[in-house]
Every structure is written in structure tokens, then in C-alpha cells.
Amino acid sequence: MRPWPRSWASSRCSWPVPTARCGADMPMSPFLARLREKIGSELLMLPSASGFVFDDAGRLLVARHGDVGLWAAPGGGIDPDERPQDAVARELHEELGIEIAVRGLIGVYGGPEFRARYPNGHQCAYVIAVYGCTIVSGVPEPDGAEITGYRWVTEDELPELPTTTWMPLVAPEAFTWWREHAR
């Protein structure tokens, strides 16, 4: 396993990435839209869930996100009254058309690497519940808006991709979790 370079996140990943599409073309839940009407672009702390989907060979499914063009594990916001594990299943179905089995919680992550400022001025700080998952049915098919591509990658291949700033923090723990829990 090749380690993630110490300067990798700062040199290869710029979050947020300046792009006119970032945040503008992505769907917003009615709940979030109502909040934005009240607080404008002020910082929001948003709960979210991400699915680290592994195949039988231990490869990770990563998705190219349409708003920033960077690779990350798929996922998204948790709706009011929604359980995080249900949110990750919903998001992966919406974004990639797959049904998943949630195998377990890898961890909960947050911090400065999980912040975003979009070109429209909206600011978000994400706290992400990260789940280890497998595909139960379907073949990944990007929705073309939120997700514009996907790949299966090994732990050694992942650092070669331009990813969000949080992926280098979470991915090593996710691969370790998978090796310990895969059956």
C-alpha cells in the first residue's frame, strides 16, 4: 500500500474548487431551501452520509461529482427524521441507481476539510457518517447531474485521482475497516 503523500490534499485538492456549476446545478431539498431562504449564504452545519462501497476484490467505488469534478465516495444530506443508514441507501440509489447493503459504520467525520464555500456564496460544514457497503442489485449508472462518472479503485490507485479534501482522511480508515470486516 502506498501512503497518501502528506502534501497531497493541499497540493492536489482545492476545496472548494472554483467552478460556475458548483452548487448551482445540484438539487436542494425543500428543507434546505427553506433554511437558505431564512439565513442566506451563512454557514450551515449539515449532517450527511457517505457510502464506501466495496466489491469482492476489495476495490472502492468512487464517483466523480458533477458540481466540482472531483472524485469521492457517493453520498449526500440526511433529511429531517431520516436515519443516516437510510440516507446513504437513498443517496446511492438516486445518484447511481444501485441498491446497497449497509455492512457497518466506519466512522463519523468532520472538521475544516469538510467545509465548502460555493460560488453562489453558500457555506456548508459537513459532518459525515461513513458506512461500509456492498452492492445488492444494479450496476452503477451515474445520474448525470450529481454524479457524472464512477470507477472502481484500489487503495494504491485512489491517490492518483483528484479528490475532495476529505477523501485522504477517510479512505485509509475505510480500506482498513473493509479488510477487517469483509466476509
Is residue 176 included in any domain, yes or no?
yes
The residue type found at 109 is Y
**Structure confidence at residue 81 (pLDDT):** 96
Tally of structural domains, the chain = 1
Confirm whether 19 is domain-assigned. no
Asked whether the beta carbons of 91 and 75 are under 8 A apart, the reply is: yes
On whether residue 21 sits in a domain, the answer given is: no
Residue 170 lies in a domain: yes
Q: Is 38 helix (H, G, I), strand (E, B) or coil?
A: helix
pLDDT digits (tens, 9 = 90+) for 1-56: 434 333 333 323 333 332 222 344 567 889 989 999 999 999 999 999 999 999 99
- Residue 4 within any structural domain of the chain: no
pLDDT band, very low/low/confident/very high, at 64 (cuts 50, 70, 90): very high
Tell me the mean pLDDT in the region 163-178.
97
Q: Classify residue 34: in a domain, yes or no.
A: no
Report the pLDDT value the prediction gives residue 68, as an integer from 0 to 100.
Answer: 84
Contacts with 39 (C-beta within 8 Å, 6 or more apart), sequence order: none
What's the grid cell of residue 175?
480500506
Domain that holds residue 59: 44-117+125-181
Assign residue 72 the CATH number of its domain: 3.90.79.10
In a domain, 143, yes or no: yes
Please state, in angstroms and as integers, the Cα–Cα distance from residue 59 to each residue in 85, 147, 161, 167, 175, following that order.
Answer: 21, 19, 14, 15, 9
Vertex 47, ends 45 and 53: CA angle to 5°?
140
Domain for residue 12, yes or no? Answer: no
- Given pLDDT bands bounded at 50, 70 and 90, which one contains residue 114? very high
Q: Where are the beta strands (DSSP E) in the chain?
A: 43-53, 60-65, 71-72, 75-77, 99-109, 115-117, 123-137, 147-153
What pTM value is reported for the model?
A: 0.84
Q: Rounded to an integer, what distance in angstroms lies between the CA atom of residue 167 and that of residue 121? A: 23
